Amino acid sequence: MREEIYTELIMEHYKRPRNFGKISKPDTIYSDANPLCGDEIKVYVKFSGKKINEIKFTGHGCAISQASASMITEFVKGKNFEFVKNLSKDDVLKLLGIELSPMRLKCALLPLKAVKMAVYSHLSKDQK
């Protein structure tokens, strides 16, 4: 099946994920899991004003979820809230560079949801 053949880029991010680890004293942390497989991701973010200054993740999962987390965290570093808010499924697919089955799409979107929720939870803290 075409979507099961991962590109070198995906495998490279899976084996050497960028931004893997924790941030000491993050402004916000958000954890999420894929209920279908139990894989988990935890996102740590430090902000500088409205920008993402530092972002890291921990957790475990399949090649797609880990590569997606690595690519998304690279992509949003230094960007502002608005940029993260507007990130879509298509942006993630573009980063990964392949089409995905609905099953695999859930894997790819798990980190996107976690990153967005981390940003939103920080925003809602700010408004309190």
- Name the minimum Å distance from CB 81 to ligand FES: 26
Residues 62-121 contacting ligand FES, CB under 6 A: 62, 64-65, 107, 110
Backbone phi and psi for residue 41, each to the nearest 5 degrees, phi listed first: -140, 140
- Name the minimum Å distance from CB 25 to ligand FES: 28
Task: State both tokens at 120.
Answer: 């939103």
Print burial letters for 46-77: b (CB count within 10 Å at least 16), e (below 16).
bbeeeebebbbbbbebbebbbbbbbbbbebbb
Q: Is 61 in the site for ligand FES (CB under 6 A)?
A: yes
- Name the minimum Å distance from CB 39 to ligand FES: 3
Tell which one of 28, 34, 70, 73 touches ligand FES (CB under 6 A): 34
Backbone phi and psi for residue 33, each to the nearest 5 degrees, phi listed first: -140, 155
Residues lying near ligand FES in the complex (CB under 6 A)? 34, 37, 39, 61-62, 64-65, 107, 110
